[in-house]
Amino acid sequence: MNYEEKITDHYRKEAAAMGLSKNSTMHDAFIRNKEIEFILSEVQAHRSKRGNSLSILDLGCGNGYLLSVLTEQVDGCKFTGLEFTDELYQLAISRKLKNTTIIKGDCRTERMNGEQFDVIISERVLINLLSKDDKVKALDNIRSLLKDQGIYIMVESFDEPLSNLNKARKELLLDETKPAYHNEYFNEEIVKGFKETGFAELNPTYPKHYLSSHYFITRVLHEAIRPEEGAIKNTEFVKFFDVALPPAIGEYSPILFRVFEKQGSAL
Ligand SMILES: C[S@@+](CC[C@H](N)C(=O)[O-])C[C@H]1O[C@@H](n2cnc3c(N)ncnc32)[C@H](O)[C@@H]1O
């Protein structure tokens, strides 16, 4: 299967199974909630800093759930969603969100008729691009689609923390965990190249490794002690430790919360 077939095949099934659900594409409710809270907090912080209306592009907007939260909670902004998989694109359109345009296209090549945005978001989207070249192409496109001093809110998975997670799993004799068949993770070398194209990394409003404690609880501790065939996601065990332990302990979450600002002439 080539890239297009793999992605559309996977997400067509997800659209059929999950419809407009909040947990479409992310069945772990804690991760989904925290991703949304982080993105919302970054958009609100940028809105306060700028003090005016923002244009916001959600790359790979899926069924439009994130856009539905943003349109409810961030006033006076203009929203655009870009989606590759027809079934998810149709679901996003069906929400009829205010001040929102949904476009079908590819984040590597879609030029949005020359429009530039104040904020671009990707929530586990660029990991679907299965080569370094395609990721660099999408990051180059993000650079051309962003205004100077615009921000890119990146919620994507990385190899380095995955390797920390696997070290911890190995200690408890658990198998190595790998990215899903339709994913390829980022690494710091790609980010270094991206920054060299004119981006500064900002301190995020949530710690970059915010999900680390949750990953350790769910993918190490719980997996090591649960009975065979025991439930793994959204369990009482996990809910207890998500509250009992502070977030962001260690660097075990492949999913990182990052923010980059496009450098350019002063406003
Ligand atoms: C893990 S899902 C995340 C969707 C959404 N951000 C969410 O959180 O539900 C990845 C999304 O990226 C879309 N996608 C994959 N490759 C894409 C591409 N080249 N251009 C635009 N969207 C793409 C998929 O169709 C899917 O909706």
Task: Encode 121-139 in three state secondary structure.
Answer: EEECCHHHCCCHHHHHHHH
User: Closest ligand 1 atom to the C-alpha of 106?
Assistant: 20
User: Closest ligand 1 atom to the C-alpha of 32?
Assistant: 8
* pTM given for the model: 0.97
Q: Which of 128, 130, 141, 157 to mutate to test the pocket of ligand 1 (most atoms within 8 A of CB)?
A: 128
Q: Which of 2, 31, 79, 125 to mutate to test the pocket of ligand 1 (most atoms within 8 A of CB)?
A: 125
Query: Quick one: which of 185, 58, 189 has its CA closest to 131?
Result: 185
Residue 62 alpha carbon to ligand 1 centre in Å: 5
CATH number of the domain to which 117 belongs: 3.40.50.150
Inside any domain, residue 241: no
Instruction: Report the pocket of ligand 1 as residue ranges, CB < 6 Å.
Output: 7, 11, 24-25, 60-62, 65-66, 82-85, 88, 106-108, 123-125, 128
Residue 83 alpha carbon to ligand 1 centre in Å: 6
Total domains, the chain = 1
Q: For residues 175, 176, 180 and 184, what is the CA-based torsion angle, rounded to 10 degrees? A: -170
CA distance 50 to 81: 22
Residue 226 alpha carbon to ligand 1 centre in Å: 32
Query: Quick one: which of 116, 131, 155, 161 has its CA closest to 260?
Result: 155
Inside any domain, residue 231: no
Q: Are the C-beta atoms of residues 28 and 234 closer than 8 Å to each other?
A: yes
Inside any domain, residue 10: yes
Residue 84 alpha carbon to ligand 1 centre in Å: 7
Inside any domain, residue 71: yes
Residues 6 or more apart whose Cβ sits within 8 Å of residue 122: 59, 60, 107, 142, 152, 153, 154, 155, 156
What is the number of residues in the chain? 267
CA distance 166 to 162: 6
Inside any domain, residue 236: no
Q: Which domain holds residue 136?
A: 3-158+183-208+258-262
CA distance 196 to 142: 14
Residue 265 alpha carbon to ligand 1 centre in Å: 32
Inside any domain, residue 146: yes
pLDDT in tens, the chain (267 residues): 888 999 999 999 999 999 999 999 999 999 999 999 999 999 999 999 988 899 999 999 999 999 999 999 999 999 999 999 999 999 999 999 999 999 999 999 999 999 999 999 999 999 999 999 999 999 999 999 999 999 999 999 999 999 999 999 999 999 999 999 999 999 999 999 999 999 999 999 999 999 999 999 999 999 999 888 888 788 999 999 999 999 999 999 999 999 999 998 644
Inside any domain, residue 139: yes
